[in-house]
Amino acid sequence: MIKIGLVSVSDRASQGIYADEGIPALLSWLKTALITPFETETRVIPDEQPLIESTLCDLVDNFRCHLILTTGGTGPALRDVTPDATLAIADRIMPGFGEQMRQISLHFVPTAILSRQVGVIRKKCLILNLPGRPKSIQETLQGVKDSDGNSLVDGIFASVPYCIDLLEGPYIETHEHIVKSFRPKSGIKSDN
């Protein structure tokens, strides 16, 4: 079973001013996309760098998450410190994830270049900063498709299962009509 940490970074949602939309959107997408059973550990926290850092460390070090998805706090505003906190606790940076997230978002909004989303590894956990809006979360994870459902730009989740494999985590399978996982032939497990 894969352990997934879900962290929504929002001052107002963490104060109860409005309902968090990030974690429900992530959960809904994961339930639709993953074949592999998973369990989640969720947090809704304010845009405070020390708190984001300690939350990410707790989810990796104590809860032993294989994957953490954050939502919110990735823009250029002074309160947007999710990428800064994520980089501060990282062992390694995975720049391709941030590049791909911006490429996907540029299909929808020209302001995607303002996003500071990052992907990192801490110990054996992949941590990805996603946008805050539910529609953008889905687009980022599953990519851009044409009217016939053919992939124009792969979503970032296409690379997540193989990355988790390389980190010695559980084997993750996805529903291909949502997002097709890529693995080299040598990394594909047979059912036999």
Residue of 72, 46, 68, 48 lying closest to 59 (CA atoms):
68
Confidence (pLDDT) at 65:
98
Confidence (pLDDT) at 188:
82
Confidence (pLDDT) at 63:
97
**CB-based contacts of 109: which residues, under 8 Å, 6+ apart?**
none
Confidence (pLDDT) at 186:
83
Give the pLDDT confidence of 100-109 residue by residue, as tens digits.
Answer: 999 999 999 9
Asked whether the whole model's pTM tops 0.85, one would answer: yes
Confidence (pLDDT) at 191:
62
> 18-27, 121-130, 177-186 — which one is most confidently predicted on average?
121-130
Using DSSP bridges, classify how beta strands 119-122 and 92-93 pair: parallel, antiparallel or unpaired. antiparallel
Task: Report whether pLDDT(57) > 60.
Answer: yes
Confidence (pLDDT) at 146:
86
Residue 133 CA to residue 45 CA, distance in Å, equals 16
Cα angle at 157 between 151 and 160, to 5 degrees?
Answer: 135
Q: Where are the domains of the chain?
A: 2-187
> 86-95, 133-142, 145-154 — which one is most confidently predicted on average?
86-95
- Per-residue pLDDT, averaged over 24-43, amounts to 97
Give the pLDDT confidence of 63-78 residue by residue, as tens digits.
Answer: 999 999 999 999 999 9
The CATH code that applies to domain 2-187 is: 3.40.980.10
